[in-house]
Amino acid sequence: MSTVFRRIATVLPAIATQDGAGVSLKRALGQSDRQRMDPYLMMDVFFSQDPKDYLAGFPSHPHRGFETITYMLEGNMLHEDHVGHRGELKTGGIQWMTAGRGIIHSEMPQQVDGAMRGFQIWLNLPRDEKMKAPAYQNIEADGLPKIALSKGGEITLIAGTLELNEKRYQSPVQASVTQPLIADVHLAPDEEVELPIPEELNALLFLFEGNVEVEGQSLHSDQSALLTSGSTLRLKAGKIGGRAMLLAGKPLNEPVVQYGPFVMNSVEEIQQAIDDYNSGRFAY
């Protein structure tokens, strides 16, 4: 069976915005309904050396109908929610929160200076799971598989399974329906790697350091590339290396209706979420 290499179909620049109580960030995916990638809804990138950009944090707010994955490259943030989950997200770790039928949570910085740098990804839930019970996992850096590459680069596997160099690596985080594959791919200067990605998965690459080539087409920092279908993603780093977030997942092919922190399949379900939250029935 011949290898079909994925190529860049569309390039999306990250857009500067704010969220929470005024946290400065860049939106790498999900700037509009047309710029999603099923099953992913959104990806935000936060990076600042200035505490004024992040100290206000993300005070208590609701979600329903999807999952959030927060990956902390640098910094320290505390998660608390109405269900009773509490977790401190530290450098190199992740938190995976399933909002399901509803969760009210906060994410607040636990530092007063220094850099805060990371990603938050929104992953849709299938129709049959949107009203499941909320859940939360906190996984520290040493709990995520690290894959050493030939020239000194490294892949951190955040979610899913990856087969590379005749070995099978598996993250502690899995989801059977959307089959998310999420990885931090850090390439040394001039390093090349071929990553197998099941053909049935949609895939996106967001470059946040250096530069890389995908089948001869250059991708630069703060750009997202929606990729064509194929069985393998071949990356080649430039002279200063490159670092990117890889997102892949099985599309749900279901209607998406979003109103702020609520993501459902119909306008009626969104209205129910708003009514439940406003009346105090939310998440119970």
Is 186 one of the annotated binding-site residues? no
Beta bridge partners of 98: 67, 135
pLDDT of residue 141: 97
| Model pLDDT, residue 283 | 53
Domain ranges of the chain: 8-268
Neighbours of 166 (CB within 10 A): 5
pTM of the predicted structure, to 2 decimals: 0.94
Known binding residue 220? Answer is: no
What does CATH list as the number for 8-268? 2.60.120.10
Residue 79 annotated as part of some ligand binding site: no
Which pLDDT tens digits describe the chain residue by residue (284 residues)? 689 999 999 999 999 887 765 677 899 999 776 678 999 999 999 887 777 777 777 778 899 999 999 999 999 988 888 888 888 999 999 999 999 999 998 888 887 788 889 999 999 999 999 999 999 999 999 999 999 999 999 999 999 999 998 999 999 988 889 999 999 999 999 999 999 999 999 999 999 999 999 999 999 999 999 999 999 999 999 999 999 999 999 999 999 999 999 999 999 999 999 999 998 877 55
CA distances to 56, 97, 198, 269 from 265, in Å = 32, 20, 26, 7
Q: Which of 272, 259, 265 is nearest to 283 (CA)?
A: 272
